[in-house]
Amino acid sequence: MTGIGILGESNSGKTACLVSLYLLVSNGLLEGWTFANSASLTGFEDIARAARAWNDGHPPDQITLHTEMADDRQPGLLHLRLKRKSDSRRVDITLPDLPGEWTEALVKSSRSDRLEFMRSAETVWLVVDGKALRELSTRQGAITRLGELLGRLEWMTKECPPKVLVVVTHRDKGELGQSIRDRLGAEIAKRALRAEIVEIAPVAEDETICKSGFGIEALLDASVGAASEAPEFWASTTPTEGSRAYLGYRSDR
Ligand SMILES: Nc1nc2c(ncn2[C@@H]2O[C@H](COP(=O)(O)OP(=O)(O)OP(=O)(O)O)[C@@H](O)[C@H]2O)c(=O)[nH]1
Ligand SMILES: [Mg+2]
């Protein structure tokens, strides 16, 4: 079971990620994975209802509603069982759909009691609004708050640090500029937790730039870990052309 934790401010695109993943999986649109089961179909259906029109190939501009939580203590966990085509391995993943306020309260007042379950997540997605990063007036604030969030996560998971993926949405506005990427990278480098940047577009307004669901499979691959390669039975010993095998022989000793 791979527990995935998902944090991010309101409107950053957390629910959209989940809806997009569910729609891709359930419609057989992932290259490397097939759908095996879900113990929380109604949960997915609830959050995906607004996105039904997507099946016709024309995603609506807005595919989600602001996430509200009836019970402050019990985040609803969504579950997916997937089969990886490369090695036929079945993996179970759980993903919570949390309201952005929980992340905001964690950053502003380090309230973490209701995020206790995040401590056992193997992978954590820190979802960042790609629109805010692209706009000059909101960029610095978004980067600074991401750094603070990373710091809080580091403190919460000291015993067992997760793999962290900084998930930048709105890839449908084009690739993130190198200077923005560098600044994001510099902020991440200030912390002990390592994090990788993944760009996605759960829903795309302009499908000439990228399709709805862009980057979701890469996010899944990065979250679950690479397929273990089958060892080669008879390893090849043929020297590669021009490698000067004779001169190189034992020159390292
Ligand atoms: N064009 C475009 N729209 C996106 C993208 N990601 C998210 N959105 C839209 O951004 C809005 C907010 O996304 P949500 O997934 O609801 O945000 P959230 O993080 O769940 O927000 P809260 O539930 O309030 O915490 C929705 O209207 C999404 O359709 C993207 O990559 N491209
Ligand atoms: Mg939401």
pLDDT number for residue 59? 55
205 in a structural domain:
yes
Specify whether the CB–CB gap between 217 and 32 falls below 8 A.
Answer: yes
pLDDT number for residue 251? 47
- What CA–CA distance (Å, rounded) separates 105 from 109? 5
Q: Which helix (H) or strand (E) holds 4?
A: strand 2-8
| CATH number of the domain encompassing residue 218 | 3.40.50.300
- What CA–CA distance (Å, rounded) separates 179 from 182? 5
Which among 172, 203, 214 is the best mutation to test ligand 1's pocket, defined by most ligand atoms within 8 Å of the CB?
A: 203
234 in a structural domain:
no
- CB atoms under 10 Å from CB of 39, counted, come to 13
248 in a structural domain:
no
The residue contributing the CA closest to ligand 1 atom 11 is 11
Q: Which tokens hold the place of 111?
A: 């309230």
Q: Which tokens hold the place of 119?
A: 């401590």
pLDDT number for residue 248? 46
Of 4, 17, 7, nearest in space to 203 by CA: 17
Tell me, what DSSP letter sits at residue 201? Answer: B
pLDDT number for residue 46? 81
Its pTM stands at 0.86
pLDDT number for residue 249? 47
By CB neighbour count within 10 A (0-12 exposed, 13-18 middle, 19+ buried), where does 111 fall? middle
Which among 6, 7, 9, 15 is the best mutation to test ligand 1's pocket, defined by most ligand atoms within 8 Å of the CB?
A: 15
72 in a structural domain:
yes
Within 8 A by CB and 6+ apart from 16, the residues are 63, 64, 169, 202, 203
Q: How many domains does the chain have?
A: 1
Q: Which tokens hold the place of 252?
A: 């390292």
216 in a structural domain:
yes
Specify whether the CB–CB gap between 90 and 82 falls below 8 A.
Answer: yes
Q: Quote the domain boundaries for residue 219.
A: 2-226
152 in a structural domain:
yes
The residue contributing the CA closest to ligand 1 atom 29 is 62
17 in a structural domain:
yes
pLDDT number for residue 252? 47
The DSSP bridge partners found for residue 128 are: 168
75 in a structural domain:
yes
pLDDT number for residue 60? 57
Q: Which residues of the chain have pLDDT under 50?
A: 245-253
